């Protein structure tokens, strides 16, 4: 595997050359995860699957180092809001979860010169701190069902309500009917041509730039 400095260049390219502490953590997490699994060239093929637990710069850095992508189905986002990720070697079944130590934020001051601002101090300290002071590593077991694996879709059905196609067993069966999750459970979006409940309108009207006026 290439050096930390070389991999940081790749990670920074995603963010117009800027390197932040999260990117350094992400690169080092990816390097350590691959090292522990014995994967020297993670960007080759689809042997490696990575579960990231946060949607911040760290996730971009991990993708840059490993070559894992949402579109390749080798990068999975678990919305836990944690600075952590799990690396899975699909050829052996081994998996390691790596999380950032909270105390690293305080321990970093022993690794950098006095007088740096906090962001610069974190960025530079995270480059040189030992792995065991930055991360917690644990062996884990992950079962990846066939409909979550890389490759062609294993199923496709149409939602009985909206008529849109649903791949890879993401449908919900409700009273014998196959529905997409948006129709069955409520979507993250609201069509402009759809009615809005009174409570929803009141909630939305409190947000800046809302499309809906407050009801009387």
Domain ranges of the chain: 4-147, 156-205
What is d(CA 155, CA 126) in angstroms, rounded to the nearest whole number?
A: 44
**Residue located via tokens 């042997």:** 47
Q: What is the pLDDT of residues 82-109, one digit of tens each?
A: 999 999 999 999 999 999 999 999 999 9
Q: Is the predicted pLDDT of residue 211 greater than 80, yes or no?
A: no
Structure tokens at 122: 């974190």
User: For residue 81, is it left (φ>0), alpha (ψ between -120 and 50) or beta?
Assistant: left
What is the average pLDDT value for the chain, to the nearest integer?
Answer: 90
HSE value, Cβ hemisphere, 13 Å, CA-based, for 32: 26
191/28 Cα distance (integer angstroms): 42
pLDDT bucket at 193, cuts 50 / 70 / 90? confident
C-alpha dihedral sign at 74, 75, 77, 78:
positive
Instruction: Evaluate the CA torsion angle 49, 54, 58, 59 in order and state its sign.
Output: positive
Q: Rounded distance, CA 95 to CA 16, Å?
A: 32
| Right CATH for 4-147 from 3.30.1330.130, 3.40.50.150, 2.60.40.1120, 2.60.40.1220 | 3.30.1330.130
pLDDT, position 214: 31
Cα separation, 30 vs 68, whole angstroms: 11
176: left (phi over 0), alpha (psi -120 to 50) or beta: left
Q: Exposed e or buried b for every residue in 163-191, given b needs 16+ CB within 10 A? A: eeebebeebeeeeeebbbebbbeeeeeee
Q: Provide φ and ψ at 88, rounded to 5°.
A: -120, 125
Residue 17 confidence (pLDDT) above 90: no
Q: Each residue of 27-84: pLDDT tens digit?
A: 999 999 999 999 999 998 899 999 999 999 999 999 999 999 999 999 999 999 999 9
Provide the pLDDT for residue 195. Answer: 65
Q: What is the pLDDT of residue 45?
A: 86
* pLDDT value of residue 196: 59
pLDDT of residue 205: 40
Q: What is the pTM of this model?
A: 0.85
| Partners of residue 166 on adjacent β-strands | 157
Q: By the 8 A CB rule, do 48 and 66 touch?
A: yes
Please count the other Cβ atoms lying within 10 Å of the Cβ belonging to residue 140.
Answer: 13
Percentage with pLDDT > 70 across the chain:
90
Kindly tell me if the per-residue pLDDT of 201 is higher than 50. Answer: no
Is the pLDDT assigned to residue 204 strictly greater than 50? no
Which pLDDT band holds residue 170 (cuts at 50, 70, 90)? very high
């Amino acid at each position: 595997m290439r050096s930390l400095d070389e991999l940081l260049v790749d990670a920074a390219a995603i963010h117009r050359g800027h390197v932040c502490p999260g990117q350094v953590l992400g690169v080092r997490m990816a390097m350590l995860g691959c090292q522990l699994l014995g994967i020297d060239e993670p960007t080759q093929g689809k042997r490696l699957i990575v579960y990231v637990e946060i949607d911040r710069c760290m996730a971009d850095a991990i993708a840059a180092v490993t070559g894992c992508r949402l579109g390749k189905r080798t990068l999975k986002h678990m919305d836990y809001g944690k600075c952590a990720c799990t690396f899975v070697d699909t050829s052996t079944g081994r998996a390691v979860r790596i999380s950032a130590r909270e105390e690293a934020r305080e321990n970093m001051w022993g690794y950098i010169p006095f007088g740096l601002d906090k962001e610069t101090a974190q960025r530079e300290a995270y480059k040189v701190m030992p792995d065991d002071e930055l991360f917690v590593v644990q062996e884990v077991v992950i079962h990846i069902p066939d409909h979550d694996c890389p490759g062609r879709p294993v199923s496709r059905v149409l939602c009985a309500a909206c008529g849109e196609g649903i791949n890879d067993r993401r449908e919900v069966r409700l009273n014998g009917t196959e529905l997409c999750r948006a129709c069955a459970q409520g979507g993250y979006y609201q069509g402009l041509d759809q009615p809005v409940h009174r409570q929803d309108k009141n909630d939305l009207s409190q947000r800046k730039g809302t499309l809906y006026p407050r009801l009387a």
